[in-house]
Amino acid sequence: MPDTTKAVILARGLGTRMRRAAEAAAIDASQAAAADSGVKAMIPIGRPFLDYVLSALADAGCRQACLVIGPEHDAIRRYYTLEAVPARISVSFAIQEKPLGTADAVLAAEAFAGDDGFLALNSDNYYPVHVLARLRALGRPGLAGFDPRALVRDSNIDPARVQKYAILSIGADGFLADIIEKPDEETWRAAGGEALISMNCWSFGPAIFEAARRIAPSARGELELADAVRYAIERLGERFAVLPVAAGVLDLSVRTDIPAVARRLREVDVRP
């Protein structure tokens, strides 16, 4: 699998937590309106947050991006095809008809990816360019494993939130063995401060599509990307390299995140 120039951005989420009002959130009217819509990727930080994500991908060497959106997301399509067409990265769209989960969202982009490798990432996270560049050049399936201490130090993410993220179980060969979602305190203690966290920043090959088609819905009724990865490892023999990363990721999950993310992005040169 050679270096990829393709990226799939998951932008279909309902934004349930973002829709909730927060009295302490110091945001302006345009940001509040975008938060009300639940389309986190279009929250304005001077310009839509998604512009920063696309610009980082372009800086990392990606040349094609596919936005996985819902059929109702006309504003996203209009913005990137008519109002602000990116110059350094081409943007296409894949429709996820219903919000059936992250694995289903990736599956929606199968025609875009074809037989090529591709990056897959969230639309409400801003990942460091150097992390995206390393993952793009990996040349095989893999993911970034983030040091939780660096996430707290260099992000807008507090320790309580970090402890809710999935922990990566890594085999002796350095490849991903499992993803432990919603780890309890005992799991964190057992990790002894050496745990690496998944922030949903992946390099995939075509096998992920077969895995996404074959899994059953999770206990919460969704087709989960973690389950598809697990299926790919256990049933298809896929091996995912883990890139250890000591860096932050900006997270735009709730309204109170907006001011902190805006401060950290203030000096970023955005050129999607």
* Torsion angle of the four alpha carbons 78, 253, 251, 49, in this order, in degrees rounded to the nearest 10: 20
Residue 228 is which amino acid?
A: A
As assigned by CATH, the class of the 6-265 domain is alpha beta
Chain centroid, CA 122 distance in Å: 2
CA angle 10, 12, 15 (to 5 degrees): 110
The answer to whether residue 20 scores a pLDDT higher than 80 is no
User: For the segment 230-271, what is each residue's pLDDT rounded down to a tens digit?
Assistant: 999 999 999 999 999 999 999 998 888 999 999 999 999 999
The answer to whether residue 14 scores a pLDDT higher than 60 is no
Closest by CA to 246, choosing from 209, 193, 177, is 193
Phi, psi of 183 (to 5 degrees): -65, 145
Kindly list the domain boundaries of the chain, sorted by start residue.
6-265
pLDDT band at 122 (very low <50, low <70, confident <90, very high): very high
**Percent of the chain surpassing pLDDT 70:** 94
CA angle 266, 14, 20 (to 5 degrees): 70
pLDDT computed for residue 140 by the predictor? 96
**Percent of the chain surpassing pLDDT 90:** 76
The answer to whether residue 19 scores a pLDDT higher than 60 is no
Looking at residues 202-220, what average pLDDT do you find? Answer: 97
Identify any residues that bridge with 67 across adjacent strands, giving them in sequence order: 9, 93
Pairing of strands 64-69, 6-10: parallel
pLDDT computed for residue 101 by the predictor? 95
Identify any residues that bridge with 243 across adjacent strands, giving them in sequence order: 144
pLDDT computed for residue 26 by the predictor? 80
Please answer whether residues 67 and 76 qualify as being in contact, where contact means their C-beta atoms are separated by less than 8 angstroms. Answer: yes
Closest by CA to 11, choosing from 55, 76, 60, is 76
Q: How far apart are CA 137 and CA 146, in angstroms?
A: 18
Please answer whether residues 259 and 25 qualify as being in contact, where contact means their C-beta atoms are separated by less than 8 angstroms. Answer: yes
Mean predicted lDDT score pLDDT of the chain: 92
pLDDT band at 22 (very low <50, low <70, confident <90, very high): low
Burial of 178 from C-beta contacts in 10 A (0-12 / 13-18 / 19+): middle
Spell out where 44-196 has E strands: 64-69, 90-95, 118-122, 125-126, 142-146, 167-170, 176-180
| Total-model pTM | 0.94
The answer to whether residue 27 scores a pLDDT higher than 90 is no
Which residue bears the tokens 């060497």?
Answer: 61
The answer to whether residue 35 scores a pLDDT higher than 90 is no
pLDDT computed for residue 18 by the predictor? 64
User: For the segment 125-142, what is each residue's pLDDT rounded down to a tens digit?
Assistant: 999 999 999 999 999 999
User: For the segment 150-167, what is each residue's pLDDT rounded down to a tens digit?
Assistant: 999 999 999 999 989 999
